[in-house]
Amino acid sequence: MYWTKVHDTLLCREVLALELYKHKKGSNEAGKIWTDVAQSLKNCQQLKFKQNLSERAVRERFSLLQTRYKEKEREETQASGISPERDGLGVLLKEITESRSRS
């Protein structure tokens, strides 16, 4: 599947809405939420997702997005005088990251 920024944004919204960060990584509860996220994306009416979208594909895509976000944040923190502009996806990833650190 080809993931666009709109697909990624919808994925992050689902992760935030289902509060994945409240469960320990690798737990049964977290696995169920990944299954729910994948099912919700497949049932989405506004955007087309592959009907064989797996929980693993969704989990791996989110992991990639989060890794890229953290790298970008680290680079911007180290650079002096940069005031980063955040798009909708960046705001969602920041909110998820902050929620994880509070849990």
14-27 pLDDT per residue, tens = 999 998 888 888 88
Calculate the CA 78 to chain-centre distance: 24
pLDDT tens profile 56-90: 999 999 999 999 998 988 887 777 666 666 788 88
Predicted pLDDT at 77? 76
Instruction: Identify the three-state secondary structure at position 39.
Output: helix
Share the mean pLDDT of the chain. 87
Handedness of CA 60, 61, 66, 69 (dihedral sign): positive
pTM of the model: 0.85
CB 84 within 8 A of CB 71: no
Quote the tokens at residue 21: 């960060």
Question: Which residues fall within 8 angstroms of residue 103, CB to CB, at 6 or more apart?
Answer: 21, 22
Taking the CA of residue 81 as centre, how many other CA atoms within 13 Å lie in the half-sphere pointing to its CB?
0
pLDDT tens profile 35-46: 999 999 999 888
In the structure, what pLDDT confidence band is assigned to residue 1 with cuts at 50, 70 and 90? confident
Predicted pLDDT at 33? 93
Predicted pLDDT at 32? 93
